[in-house]
Structure 1
């Protein structure tokens, strides 16, 4: 009796199975690649937003508009803050502010791979901020926290843990903001509208500015 069982040509089943598996893997790979590309695009967009924010900060430090910043630029800003608030540079707070400026600059120089005695250009500043500060609390605590805390402490004239909107406006003006912008930024931080901003709130705002991708106003931190 003739065998009527359907017979595949030799090798056909294995070839078809192999082709099917390849097609399945291709369909699985496409969504994964698409997800990876989207994630990369999101990451790149966030990094660009961060760089744009920090580029504005660089401009406030570059006091003589020569395209670089130096330790003297940060010390000059510190002295301007002290003058704006009629504080003595030789006082405990004054010394802490200048020391904070030094630590901040030296931390940037280390991250940028440059000498702490030399200038840092815009590209080096952004690279240093990305590597040491962006999404990293340790970098903030190591190099920038002393500066931020010292600025806030100088503005807390009566040491009650609060800074008046007027005094913070003076600080922001000394850091390069125009009077109108400075006042708007300071008032924006006074969430309970009592004319004061807590020192902890100011420190948290500085942390948000330097560590996160959020579009925090350059003159709010």
Structure 2
């Protein structure tokens, strides 16, 4: 992937994770995102919300350990770029560091626990991330690889993996979190 393409994807991710818009990532940004996802997926106060908080909390702690170079408890955009490239820049580290959080996210989306989510459920999840409704509709369509109106756990994780690792300028790899400009 070119430096420009990865920079744009990481910038988009940073901007959506920075829920209070103060230009740095803090634990409360991750907690705020998870609370928003829990509301959007109707899992507030359930074990699914607890799992979301635990797994995304683990992501925050891993990111902070790998990125917070000055030890101030915050992660700047530059620190985020460096950590993403180092921590999630390969499949093994992605599996270890991010997939458990993605799996807990999918569990929250999958209301009836049947291993698939409707495109509407995924759209609500993406809107909780901060995507506009049309952006969420576009992204959910990209994740529905076989066009059956349902997203499997595998499609969900594959879409995120492609977004973080693929050098493709198209599809879920390019537009999972909305337009990458």
Normalised by the length of structure 1, the TM-score is 0.73
1:12-31 matches, within 5 Å, as: none
Residue 58 (structure 1) aligned with residue 26 (structure 2): no
Alpha-carbon spacing, 1:159–1:117, altered in 2? closer, same or farther (3 Å): farther
Aligned pair in 2 of structure 1 residues 188, 218: CA closer, same or farther (>3 Å)?
closer
Conserved? CA contact 1:103–1:146, under 8 Å: no
- CA spacing shift, 1:117–1:174, aligned 2, 3 Å: farther
Structure 2 match to 1:142: 96
- Asked which structure has the greater RCO (Cα within 8 Å, sep 6+), the reply is 2
Change (3 A) 1:143 1:115: farther
- 1:124 counterpart residue number: 79
Q: 2:87 and 2:30 mapped to 1: Cα distance?
A: 18
Is the partner of 1:163 in helix, strand or coil?
Answer: strand
Larger Rg: 1
Aligned to 1:4: none
Displacement after TM superposition at 1:193 (Å): 2.8
Aligned equivalent of 2:61: 106
Other-structure match for 2:50: 95
Distance 1:211 1:55 in 2: 14
Please tell me whether residue 161 in structure 1 is matched to residue 112 in structure 2: no
Structure 1 residues 30-63: Cα deviation after superposition (integer angstroms, max 9, x where no partner): xxxxxxxxxxxxxxx7122112111100000111
CA–CA separation in structure 2 for the residues paired with 1:101 and 1:197: 21
Q: Which runs of 5+ in 2 are unaligned?
A: none
Q: Distance in 2 between matches of 1:71 and 1:92?
A: 21
What is the rounded CA distance, in whole Å, between the counterparts of 2:13 and 2:28 in structure 1? 16
Unaligned runs of 5+ in 1: 1-44
Please state how far the C-alpha of 1:116 moved relative to its aligned partner: 8.1
Deviation of the 1:139 alpha carbon? 1.7
Please name the residue that 1:205 is paired with.
159
Q: How does 1:172-183 map to 2 (within 5 A)?
A: 172-183=126-137
In structure 1, the residue corresponding to 2:151 is in which secondary structure?
A: strand
Structure 1 distance, partners of 2:138, 2:20, is 26
TM-score with structure 2 length normalisation? Answer: 0.88
> CA RMSD for the aligned pairs?
1.9
CA distance 1:59–1:218, change in 2 (3 Å): farther
CA offsets 1:10-48 (integer angstroms, 9 cap, x no match): xxxxxxxxxxxxxxxxxxxxxxxxxxxxxxxxxxx7122
- Superposition pairs of residues 25-44 of structure 1, within 5 angstroms: none
